[in-house]
Amino acid sequence: MKSPVADPFSTLMQFNRQFQLNKQEREAVDWAWPLEQGTSMFNIIQTYTMAAQAERLKAGESYRLQKTGGSIMSMLT
């Protein structure tokens, strides 16, 4: 979780593509990034967790973002 990330924003964009997030989900990640930004994988995972709380998302989109954060965390173990 404390693993450093050289380019966190680029890493987020790569995960967005890898998990095939839709436009609303990507916009939620963009919204959450300033709130959770940092240089570790913890910050990346927290960004997806925060993004899931965006009010404009449908329940399925929120779930998908939570699941994305969990999938990223499971990659680290």
Q: What is the pLDDT of residues 21-57, one digit of tens each?
A: 999 999 999 999 999 999 999 999 999 999 999 999 9
Of the candidates 10, 1, 22, the residue with the CA atom closest to the CA atom of residue 70 = 1
Angle at 61 between CA 45 and CA 39, to 5 degrees: 15
Domain range holding 20? 8-76
Number of domains in the chain: 1
In a domain, residue 50? The reply is yes
In a domain, residue 21? The reply is yes
In a domain, residue 2? The reply is no
In a domain, residue 3? The reply is no
Burial grade of 27 (CB within 10 A; 0-12, 13-18, 19 or more): middle
pTM of structure:
0.93
In a domain, residue 37? The reply is yes
In a domain, residue 67? The reply is yes
Do 65 and 51 contact (CB within 8 A), yes or no?
yes
Is residue 4's pLDDT more than 90? no
What is the percent of the chain where pLDDT is above 70? 99
Supply the pLDDT for residue 1. 59
Do 69 and 49 contact (CB within 8 A), yes or no?
yes
